[in-house]
């Protein structure tokens, strides 16, 4: 149940942005460009970062929706449980693991970021642009997690698949 009386019981992000429409258009354009535009990261990798960041923040609303979208882009069931248990043994490409470690640290301990964190990503063969995009996705979802949790949005896990079908940037 949302904290705001102006929001319906089944409110989504669209309803939240209607509270202050002046920010909606710019944020929507940013989100579309980031999640679906050109990037060294695939859409599946960006959705994995989105869902993983949301899982780290215990944001069921964003995690459930973006894990479902990630599955539509080919991410296998169980990947996120494995990532939460241990990135090292999770069934994702070894090359992707330094990015996920970077995202985890940036989400949980941003004040501890050091050059070695970025260097690990570069040593795995990623470009500065790839890391930049990963940071943007991580930052976007830390923002979105706080936006949805701050407004009291939650979602029934049974609705995640249905809700993601309605999302405009879905494949």
Write the CB contacts of 82 (distance below 8 Å, at least 6 apart in sequence). 89, 90, 91
Determine the pLDDT at residue 154.
Answer: 79
pLDDT tens string 68-98: 999 999 999 999 999 999 999 999 999 999 9
Asked whether the predicted pLDDT for residue 168 surpasses 50, the reply is no
> CA 129 from chain center: how many Å?
18
pLDDT tens string 38-65: 999 999 999 999 999 999 999 999 999 9
Confidence tier at 171 by pLDDT (50, 70, 90): very low
Which whole-number Å values give the CA distances from 77 to 147, 158, 166, in the listed order?
A: 27, 15, 21
137 neighbors 53 (Cβ within 8 angstroms)? yes
Asked whether the predicted pLDDT for residue 122 surpasses 80, the reply is yes
Asked whether the predicted pLDDT for residue 33 surpasses 50, the reply is yes
Confidence tier at 157 by pLDDT (50, 70, 90): low
Q: How many whole angstroms separate alpha carbon 42 and alpha carbon 75?
A: 11
Determine the pLDDT at residue 162.
Answer: 64
pTM, two decimals, is 0.91
Which whole-number Å values give the CA distances from 97 to 76, 100, 109, in the listed order?
A: 16, 5, 17
**Domains of the chain by range and CATH?**
13-166 (1.20.1290.10)
């Amino acid at each position: 149940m949302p904290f705001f009386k102006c929001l319906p019981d089944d409110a989504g992000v669209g309803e939240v942005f209607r509270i202050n429409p002046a920010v909606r258009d710019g944020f929507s354009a940013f989100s579309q460009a980031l999640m679906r535009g050109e990037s060294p990261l695939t859409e599946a990798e960006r959705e994995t970062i989105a869902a993983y960041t949301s899982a780290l923040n215990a944001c069921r609303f964003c995690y459930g929706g973006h894990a479902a979208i990630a599955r539509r882009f080919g991410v296998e069931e169980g990947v996120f449980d494995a990532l939460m248990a241990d990135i090292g043994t999770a069934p994702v490409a070894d090359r992707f693991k330094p990015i996920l470690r970077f995202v985890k640290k940036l989400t949980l301990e941003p004040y501890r970021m050091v050059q070695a964190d970025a260097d690990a990503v570069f040593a795995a063969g990623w470009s500065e642009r790839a890391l930049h995009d990963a940071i943007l996705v991580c930052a976007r979802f830390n923002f979105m997690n706080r936006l949805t949790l701050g407004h009291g949005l939650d979602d029934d896990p049974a609705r995640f698949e249905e809700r993601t079908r309605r999302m405009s940037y879905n494949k």
